Amino acid sequence: MSYEKEEIFLPVAIKLREGFILVVGGGKAALQKIQSLLQFTRKIKVISTKILKEIEEFGVEFKKDAYNDRYLEDAILVYACTDDKKINQKIAEDARIRGLMVCISDNPVESDFISPAIFRKDYMTVAVTSNARDVKRSIAWRDRIKELDKEEGLP
């Protein structure tokens, strides 16, 4: 059996028990991640010197502050969503030292996980991923699944 050198992301469903998901950054990338996460949990903390009003209005915990590794304490997953590549890399390094997995919003190659395109209805969830190779296609597949559900009334 041969394996390609390209990395493939394993799709999993994670039970969120203790801790929280840390999102570092308060801009558009963070907004998109938080909107997706809110389908599953409100255990989200946002750290950024500037936070979009929409994020503040979500009702998640946030603090207007510069990133510091102390914010990783009790986190279970980390999203590095700043617009500074060096800070995102520092967040990733600090998270990995603590055994945490991190998603770097602008760098899937250096990420431990990626966020799929998600369709959720009741207790059913469909996640579509292209292994970060074709995000638009993942979204198109997800949207088609939504259409099928509307058209055919999937159970």
Q: Are strands 20-24 and 101-104 parallel, antiparallel or unpaired?
A: unpaired
Per DSSP, the three-state class of 62 is strand
The residue extents of the domains of the chain are: 20-110, 117-152
Give the integer Cα–Cα distance in Å for 37 and 117: 11
The CATH superfamily of 20-110 is: NAD(P)-binding Rossmann-like Domain (3.40.50.720)
Residue 130 neighbours by CB under 8 Å, 6+ apart: 137, 138
Q: How far is the CA of 137 from the CAs of 12, 99, 116, 152, 154, in angstroms?
A: 20, 32, 11, 22, 22
Q: How confident is the model at residue 4 (pLDDT cuts 50, 70, 90)?
A: low
User: What are the pLDDT digits (tens) for 68-123?
Assistant: 999 999 999 999 999 999 999 999 999 999 999 999 998 998 999 999 999 999 88
- Biggest CA pair distance of the chain: 51
Calpha distance 103→83 (Å, rounded): 14
Name the token pair of 85.
């590549």
- pLDDT tens across 17-68, in order? 889 999 999 999 999 999 999 999 999 999 999 999 999 999 999 999 999 9
Residues 6+ away with beta carbon under 8 Å from 47: 22, 23, 24, 62, 63, 65, 67, 71
